Amino acid sequence: MYCPNCGAEVRSGERFCQNCGAPLAAQQAADLSAALRAAREFSGASAAAAPMEGLSETPSLTQDFAVTRERFNLILGGTLLWGFLMNVLFCIFFGRAAAQLPYGAIMVAYIALAFTGILINTRSSKPIWSFIGYNLVVLPLGLILSVLIADVGSEAVREAFQIASAVAAGMLLLSNWKPETFIRMGPCLLGALLLTIAAELILFLFNRSFVLTNVIATAIFCLYIGFDWARAQQRPCTADNAIDSACALYLDIINLALRILSARSRRRN
């Protein structure tokens, strides 16, 4: 394994480069989160094509039910806020203990739980199971954020999420203004994301810098926020679709924050 900042060889499991001191966790977490986002796109594509059948006329956690557009957005927003609240609470109550765990074990747990959660969230048509899948995506991020706070400090993590939140708010406004523009971007964004992930893998193998690909990935996730919001507003108004849309937006914002944090850490070093 090599440091993405200076190219020096580092041992597996290390959080900092012994040559330049750059934190390695932020870039690794950003790369994995980008892969999770791409995996969700692939998994959700076939699930979205399935016809909507058997909708309940009354609210139920075990069967999907129709809602008004206002309630759809309330469920979406509430689910999104729930995810970030769980991240904050996890870091407050379990962050110190999580940061002491072996970094390799954290990454394995992160990958296993998040991929399982994405599969459950995108494949299930029942709100309760989609919400469970969403939490399996959310909770492992608490582990990653705890490591990042230990590595780069809580202030840096907070600033990254503040910037990501401001950008997300701006993209939502743009998406409400020109939804059709963002919808047309969908296939291009997925292709660009896959190419960026492939480029980062190749650069990693050949011991090259990640600066340009990180900038491109940051721009992709900015646009993905607008795309996923526009797509959510065009989906049938059901509770399950609201939770699925919240999961997509959560991954967009997390990815954007991790990319900002990675760039900030690299610039500081």
For 10-22, write each residue's pLDDT tens digit: 665 565 666 666 6
Q: Say how many CA atoms lie within 13 Å of 75 toward its Cβ.
A: 26
pLDDT for residue 46 is more than 90:
no
Residue 261 lies in a domain: yes
Residue 11 lies in a domain: no
Residue 5 lies in a domain: no
Q: What is the mean pLDDT of residues 196-200?
A: 87
What is the C-alpha separation between 260 and 52, in angstroms, rounded? 38
Residue 7 lies in a domain: no
Q: What is the pLDDT of residue 31?
A: 74
Domain that holds residue 35: 25-268
Residue 145 lies in a domain: yes
Q: What is the pLDDT of residue 13?
A: 53
Q: What is the pLDDT of residue 230?
A: 96
b/e per residue, 118-128, with b = 16+ CB within 10 A?
bbbbbebbbbe
Cα–Cα distance list, 128 to 8, 152, 170 (Å): 47, 36, 31
Domain count, the chain: 1
pTM: 0.84
Q: Which amino acid is at 188?
A: C
Residue 48 lies in a domain: yes
Sign of CA dihedral 250, 252, 253, 259: positive
Query: What is the number of other CB atoms lying within 10 angstroms of the CB of residue 74?
Result: 13
Q: Is 9 helix (H, G, I), strand (E, B) or coil?
A: strand
Residue 194 lies in a domain: yes
Residue 16 lies in a domain: no
The residue among 121 and 11 whose pLDDT is bigger is: 121
